[in-house]
Amino acid sequence: MKAACWFGKNDIRVTNVPDPQIVNDRDAILRITATAICGSDLHIYNGFIPMMQDGDILGHEFMGEVVEVGKGVTNLKPGDKVVIPFTISCGNCFFCRRDLWSLCDNSNPNATIAEKMYGYSAAGLFGYSHIFGGYAGGQAEYVRVPFADVGAFKVPEGVTDDQVLFLTDILPTGYMAAENCNIQPGDTVAVWGCGPVGLFTIKSALLLGAERVIAIDRFPERLKLAQEAGAEVIDYMEVDVLDELRARTSGMGPDACIDAVGLEAHGITVDQFYDKAMQLARLGTDRPHVLRECIFACRKGGTVSLPGVYGGFVDKIPMGAAHSKGLTFKMGQTHVHRYLPTLMDHIVNGRLDTTFLISHRLPLEQAAEGYAMFKEKRDNCTKVVLYPGTA
């Protein structure tokens, strides 16, 4: 089959690889019909995620048709159309039972390595480095889905791939980021980053009752989408973000600040040059510019929610500010299984549209072009979806 494989920084090639097969009883094999490139994939593409191996198949946002199931899977059959959460979860452990699916105890074959880095291992992830299990991803013609009995959600008839593909990751991620803010009537929520995650975060915050959402980015087309989603916007290239947020919140600060950017934050302030130097010198691994701004901007007693991914160490975090202001921090990979059924229902019943996000539809064979375009935000690129078998 064909698959988008990683061969190093900025080097992704679609090559021929063997087809996947059933390994464990709870596996299923899917023929992929649609698969997206995520901001998280860009962290790999840009070389910031350790423990990638040459030839690893990328992709954690995918859906398709079941072609084979293991003998432990009785609720799926060949021909079923399904979407797959990007976190691999067993459904039975302490964490899965408490709806903390991305923290599953039983899905990372490399848990030993993850424990060395993080103390304890979170769930295995599709196509996301060997720290998270080294599972082959779904930017391919076929994929093996472990624990498919709890990790595959059927798509009802009459719904298109484009409508439900983002249930695999970014839609639940935006939703969880907003839910983590415990939004109360009258609240103002500030969202850094108007990429796919930021945009879904904006929609979710409004859905969950936020009075106002203020969105921050620098790309006009993304700011426009944020506005269309119902947010007020700030172009951080034009004004001082902290001053502007204070001014727009009656001098109080946003009730919640959401970092939908993560470890590769772009910036023009002094701390950013420091971060960049640290990263180049391999002294720090992440660039936490947005995280710092969130901490400073947030009102006292507010919440800082981090859907944006951090992978290693961050430097110069204003812990004193966070502590003296009594902030609450919420973060983590998304518990996709928890949110997927509800969000699916919103989509199927026409209450929620996600297709507005897709700017580029390409055959799988053009994955490399898709990555480059998404990274450089070329051609107003907001989200790339790849369709295997359409070249």
Ligand X SMILES: NC(=O)c1ccc[n+]([C@@H]2O[C@H](COP(=O)([O-])OP(=O)(O)OC[C@H]3O[C@@H](n4cnc5c(N)ncnc54)[C@H](O)[C@@H]3O)[C@@H](O)[C@H]2O)c1
Residues that bind ligand X (CB under 6 A): 38-40, 42-43, 169-170, 173, 192-198, 216-219, 222, 236, 260-262, 265-267, 289-290, 307-309, 333-334
**Residue nearer to Zn ion on the CB measure, 32 or 38:** 38
Around Cβ 258, how many Cβ atoms within 10 Å?
Answer: 34
Q: Coil, strand, or helix at residue 87?
A: strand
Binding site for other proteins (CB under 8 A): 1, 3, 5-8, 13, 15-21, 23-26, 50-57, 72, 88, 90-94, 97, 105-109, 111-113, 116, 124, 130, 133-136, 140, 144, 146-147
By CB under 5 A, name the one of 27, 56, 169, 217 that touches Zn ion: 169
DSSP type of residue 103: G
Partner whose binding site includes residue 329, from other proteins, Zn ion, ligand X, none (CB under 5 to 8 Å by kind): none
Structure tokens at 268: 């023009």
At its nearest, how many Å lie between ligand X and the CB of residue 308? 4
Spatial separation of the C-alpha atoms in residues 177 and 257, rounded to whole Å:
10
Question: Minimal distance in Å, beta carbon 87 to Zn ion?
Answer: 10
Beta carbon nearer to ligand X, 135 or 192: 192
Is the CB of residue 287 less than 8 Å from the CB of residue 324? Answer: no
Give the residues across from 366 on adjacent strands.
none
Give dist(CA 233, CA 250) in Å, integer: 16
Query: Taking the complex as a whole, how short is the minimal distance between the CB of residue 95 and Zn ion, in angstroms?
Result: 5
Min separation Cβ 36 and Zn ion, Å: 8
Which residues touch 273 (CB under 8 Å, ≥6 apart)?
none
Instruction: Choose among ligand X, other proteins, Zn ion, none what residue 334 binds, the Cβ cut-off being 5 to 8 Å by kind.
Output: ligand X
- Of 72 and 332, nearer to ligand X (C-beta) is 332
Q: Are 309 and 331 in contact (CB under 8 A)?
A: no
State CA 118 to chain mean position distance. 20
